[in-house]
Structure 1
Amino acid sequence: MHLGELRVSYGQAYLAQDRRSARSSMAVSCPKDSQLAIKGVAGIIADSTWRNAIAKQAGETCVKGFIADYYATPDNWDVKTSANRVLSALNSWLFAQSRTVTNGSYISSMSVLLLRGRQANLFHMGDTLVYRLRGAELQLLNREHTTYLGGYRYPSRAMGMDPSLDIDYLNFNVRQGDIFLFTTQAVKGTLMPSDFVQLISQYPEDLNQACDAILQQAMEKASKRGYSSYNFCFQLLRVDQIPHESSEGLGEAYSALPVPEELQAGDELDGYRVLEVISRSATSRVYRVHDPKTDRILVLKAPSPQIARKREFIAHFIMQQWVVERVSSPYVARVVDLSRPRRQLYYLMESVDGRTLEEWMQQNPDADIKVRVDLVEQLTKAVRALHRREILHQNLTPANILVDHQGVVKLVDFAACGVAKMNDLPPLLTLARRVGLTPYSAPEYRLGREPGERADQFSVAAIAYQLLTGHQPYEGQLEKLSSKVDFSRMEYLPAFQLNPELPIWMDVPLRKALQPNPELRYRRLSEFIYDLKKPAPTAVAPESNESNPLTFWKGLAGVLLLLLLLSLFY
């Protein structure tokens, strides 16, 4: 490393007497080059309860998931913002996963120490332990969150335990020579603070050897005290060198990147040559560009110059890149790594050679129903990839979906994307309204109700309805929706009435996914596409008074008139 950079050393030791009871995980991540100055060094420990059948998976998921996502956050985000958002998203995923397993849960205590520049940032959930050894003084830096149930001690406020996450946060200056000890509750009752100080001081040059010595003494004392099983985890992280004061602001420099001016075909930005202007909106600019360094055609997205001084809009633009980077799907356009340093605020995405779904529908009015359903299925896979990351799209329209020449769907616009349960971001409803509601937006947006995944389900079903019938559902009704009275008066027109070639059973999933009340829609988007593809033998046409109320009342009036005439003669 270069002189003046942050330099660290670390050591580890771990032992589970019974592999089936292994429940702890730990790691140190020390990136190279600019990432070291921007994101810093991460020291992490995670530990689940011994009564958890998948304790090891829970701990490893916390550690590996955090490292992967934290270092993928935008350079413009500071350490606290990046860590909070990653931890909140990871917690939501863990909580959701626990509902899918029958034996165990993805609950784990976790402590994360991020060293950047001359600062330390400690994030803590549950009952793992982080000490700082400065000279001969050992100090516990975090608080143990525990509770007692049935006479047993359990961690509280841990990862995956609750849909919302309560994070303890501590920020402090570091000194050269500071040593941080990461361990778990298993050490309680075996080693004293003085034991740690003595053993670490015996091996100042080799932290792995120091960890081994701590582990050995912990095992000996545990055996003497008759512990039938033990699970020890020790990690030492030492600050060998801290940066000079002048390098402290390097990370902040990225957050001050200027917004690009208006660009035209032929202009250049950081070496990328603009081929065409794809779109201009109130909040963003989208250009097709050529990268001469890699000879690739790419899409460059930048904030609109009009929002350059609006911090919340810039923050959301930065979040868009992070959101898309976290999603891996062949049906979602990928963010492309920069081939040169970025001097202005923008990000690059793959360029899709195709047309919008809106254009596809206009050019293929007689396409086979199976082809149309296949497009819906691909769109469903794209949206489900977002939902698996707790991301709502909120702006699904045929204009925001591309179909390439092989018939592959690509989701390309993420202007209204939001991450659920992130308190430091604008509410999802605010994001959606900021971009603008469409005829495909779920009714709850217009009624001011905070949306969930079923709002995206409504939009997918609305697009499917148009693909299969050539018309939008609730045509003209959604735009006028402003009250609960309007909501109750919404009338659904069966799809098979607009397209006689459409099987009656196919209308059943469309009707359900397009219910005005989100509680009446499918629980999962996968259920919708399953029903849309699989014929339902029990599905029948709705009663005549539902399918065509005017015909029903005309028929009823005719019968009454006939009875009246008969009564006059008899």
Structure 2
Amino acid sequence: MSGKLAVSIGQHSDPGRKDRNQDFHGALLPEGRVLASKGIALALADGISSSAVGGIASESAVKSFLTDYYCTSDAWSVKTSAQRVIDAANSWLHAETRRGRHAHDPDRGYVCTLSALVLKSRSAHLFHIGDCRVFRVVGETLEQLTEDHRVVISSQENYLGRALGAAPSVEIDYRLLDLSPGDVFVLATDGVYEHVPPRSITQAIAASSGDLDLAARRVVEEALARGSPDNLTIQIARIDTLPDGDVGDLLGRTDTLPASPLPEAPGDFDGYRLLRQLHSSSRSHIFLATNGETGGETGGETGEKVALKLPSIDLRENEAYLRRFMMEEWIARRIGSPHVLKAAAPGRRQNFLYTATEYVEGRTLRQWMFDNPHPDLETVRGIVEQIGKGLRAFHRLEMVHQDLRPENIMIDRDGAVKIIDFGSTTVAGVREAAPEFDDDEILGTVQYAAPEYFLGHPGTERSDLFSLGVVTYEMLTGRLPYGAEVAKARSRKAQGRLRYATARNGSRRIPDWLDDALRRAVHPDPLKRHEAVSEFIADLRRPNPDYLPDRSAPLIERDPLAFWQTLSLILAVVIVFLVVRR
């Protein structure tokens, strides 16, 4: 199937010479949008033989992984989704042991190993705990992709050094691999790989390439014939075709919706009643509308007002622009925060390409700054805290806004602050599914873009923090902390020469400790900024003792302007003294 991820899977499990099978395995092959956003998952678990409930543990681990993984946000990366699901499964298994008769003996509790493989877009994601193994077929042999977490004491004695459910928390091995058509992966328990040579496994796969279930059965049969005393389970996954990385598959709708001619307001458009145009630029056209063909400026009887955003007339042939335009509503529907613009209620069938969002009746932060050139410190804190809450909603979903600036922040009539315009937002889950979607282009506004963007580095939460720091600085001072120099600094050396202009020099008095917080938030090196937006917001409310050692730094570093002013004063006094003496 061209243009889609297609995988052939074969599986087989057998109790072998034991009375019961404590192995468990499974795979899920979704279709459509879920296939694009979450991929295909396989999982294999082996309950420890010393526990009567090991089989229950392995079954619970596999089932919870395969079901809960697909319930995680499709904005999350595979790594984040899988690790959170595995952590939850580990906590549940450990809690079950603690509630049982063998609360202090993990060897008799709900403990198992787990290996999982997620195939998404053009990548394979491996997650591993214990001594099941994941291999990749290389020629006529197997390349082992996982490391056994088994501690060997002697030739006769060993134990699992890491297992699911054995402790309140668990360390998960993770590995990321590129995929190619024809790649074959093998997941197996020790009952198989300890008794069947790698070449025998690859030969069985090659001999039954059209029926991988048959290949799996033959491998298990050979393990039994070679005297394996354990349960035996094997999974085989072959990559048949890889996707094109088209973001349209993620959106769950065709990417061929036509762009309409620019409508006129007042008037009707695709079932909406256009009331007036709110904004028009080279990037987009935004109209105030209501659901229905009647109703006045207040909405009448047809429901609440919405804002319709249509793509720019000038950019309708730009594929990259249109892909990002389509993503905006997708992003808005996944963020639930009162400080982030919401998408309009779904249900209306669209005939043209546009987005529908809530209508925020108010003004941009830029207009607010024009109207309030000298705001009091507490008002600024209140606005920044609301922006910070909106940013944290993005970051919890592994999204980076990338274009935070006064024009993209709205303040409504009640003082509520909302982040708008997601045209530059990067999403970890989307980047994995469609790597070509995000390129190296600097999408944000250069005056507020973090310095790392100009070095070609991807945006992170600290990049958004830099932009928030610049916005905060501008609200307090009316200028930018580095002027226009950040966009000119295109190397680490040039960025090392950037000099922060203290916020204390101006018409208003800024506390030294608050200036230190701003300086840290907008540091050119992202590793020297606050670790999280919440930390910066906390530092705006009270002095951070961590900044106190910086007071020992030379005055020329702390405040160059004050240094030269002081030096000039001293020289002036000396000159006056010399003149008087003459």
- Normalized against structure 1, the TM-score is what? 0.63
What is the identity, as a one-letter code, of the residue corresponding to 2:563? P
Residue-pair matches, total: 459
Q: 1:298 maps to which residue?
A: 306
Give, in angstroms, the shift of residue 161 of structure 1.
Answer: 4.7
Cα 1:386–1:553 shift into 2, 3 Å: same
* 1:282 Cα offset (Å): 3.4
Partners of 1:369 and 1:335 in 2: how far apart?
32
Deviation at 1:297, TM superposition (A): 1.2
The answer on whether the counterparts of 2:410 and 2:420 sit within 8 Å (CA) in structure 1 is yes
Q: How does 1:7-18 map to 2 (within 5 A)?
A: none
Contact 2:123 2:178 (8 Å CA) reproduced = no
1:36-435 paired onto structure 2 within 5 Å: 45-47=42-44, 60=64, 63-67=67-71, 69=73, 89-92=77-80, 109-111=116-118, 125=126, 146-149=145-148, 151=150, 161-162=173-174, 165-166=176-177, 168=179, 185=189, 254-292=254-292, 295-420=303-428, 422=432, 424-427=435-438, 429-432=440-443
1:418 and 1:428 in contact (8 A); partners too: no
Pick from 485, 492, 495 the counterpart of residue 477 of structure 1.
485
Partners of 1:59 and 1:108 within 8 A in 2 = no
Change in CA separation of 1:549 and 1:154 when aligned onto 2, cut-off 3 Å: same
SS of residue in 1 equivalent to 2:264: coil
Give distance in 1, aligned partners of 2:277 and 2:407: 16
| Alignment check: 8 A CA contact 2:69 2:82 kept | no
**Residue 43 of structure 1: CA displacement?**
7.7
Residue 160 (structure 1) shift: 7.4
Q: Are the counterparts in 1 of residues 380 and 475 from structure 2 also a CA contact under 8 Å?
A: yes
Offset at 1:265? 1.3
- Tell me, what secondary structure is at the counterpart of 1:336? coil
SS at match of 2:466: helix
Partner residue of 2:516 out of 486, 496, 508? 508
- Answer whether contact 2:133 2:148 (CA < 8 A) is retained: no
Please state how far the C-alpha of 1:111 moved relative to its aligned partner: 4.9
Report percent identity of matched pairs: 25
Inter-CA distance 380–479: structure 2 relative to 1 (3 Å threshold): same
Distance 2:344 2:172 in 1: 31
* TM alignment of 1:492-531, pairs within 5 A: 492-498=500-506, 500-531=508-539
Q: Which amino acid aligns with 2:79?
A: N
Distance of 1:369 and 1:345 partners within structure 2: 43
Structure 1 contact 428–450 (Cα < 8 Å) conserved: no
Q: Equivalents in 1 of 2:173, 2:254: separation in Å?
A: 35
Q: Following the alignment from structure 2 to structure 1, what is the Cα–Cα distance between the partners of residues 425 and 120?
A: 29
Indicate how the Cα distance of structure 1 residues 558 and 333 shifts in structure 2: closer, same or farther if over 3 A, else same: same
The one of 548, 552, 561 equivalent to 2:566 is 552
Do 2:409 and 2:419's aligned partners in 1 also have CA atoms closer than 8 Å?
A: yes
Q: Secondary structure at the match of 1:495?
A: coil
Q: Which amino acid aligns with 2:504?
A: F
**In 2 relative to 1, CA 42–553 (structure 1 residues): closer, same or farther, beyond 3 Å?**
closer
On the 8 A contact 1:48/1:107 being kept in 2, the answer is yes
**Would the aligned equivalents of 1:62 and 1:108 in 2 still touch at CA under 8 Å?**
no
Equivalent pair of 1:125/1:168 in contact (CA under 8 Å): no
CA deviation map 1:94-145 (0-9, x unaligned): 5699999x999x996145799xxxxxx9987568999xxxxxxxxxxxx996
> For the residues of structure 2 that align with 1:187 and 1:324, how far apart are their CA atoms?
49
Give the whole-Å Cα distance in 2 for the aligned partners of 1:29 and 1:186. Answer: 26
Compute the displacement of 1:57 (Å). 8.1
Task: Map Cα deviations across residues 37-73 of structure 1 (whole Å, 9 max, x no partner).
Answer: 998999855457879xx99789746643434545xxx
Contact in 2 for aligned 1:495/1:507 (Cα 8 Å): yes
1:464 Cα deviation (Å)?
0.8
Distance 1:165 1:487, change over 3 A: same
Question: Conserved in 1, the CA contact under 8 Å of 2:364 and 2:407?
Answer: yes
SS at match of 1:496: coil
Q: Supply the distance in 1 between the matched residues of 2:522 and 2:272 (Cα, whole angstroms).
A: 43
**CA deviation after TM superposition for structure 1 residue 326, in Å:** 3.0
Q: Shift in Å at residue 482 of structure 1?
A: 5.3
- Structure-2 change in CA distance of 1:145 and 1:487 (3 Å): same
Runs of at least 5 residues in structure 1 that lack an aligned partner in the other structure:
1-12, 16-21, 71-85, 115-120, 131-142, 172-181, 193-213, 215-220, 235-248
8 Å CA contact 1:288, 1:298 repeated in 2: yes
Partner of 1:238: none
8 Å CA contact 1:124–1:167 kept in 2: the answer is: no
- Mean alpha-carbon deviation: is it higher for 492-501 or for 504-513? 492-501
In structure 2, the gaps of 5 or more residues are 1-12, 16-21, 49-56, 95-112, 135-141, 152-159, 163-170, 197-216, 218-223, 236-248, 294-301
Distance 1:254 1:466, change over 3 A: same
Cα gap change, 1:45 to 1:488, in 2 (>3 Å): closer
Is the CA contact (8 Å cut-off) linking 2:265 and 2:277 kept in structure 1?
Answer: yes
Q: Secondary structure at the match of 1:533?
A: coil
Specify whether residues 148 and 477 from structure 1 end up closer, same or farther in structure 2 by C-alpha distance, changes over 3 A only.
closer
Contact kept? 1:461, 1:510, Cα under 8 Å: yes
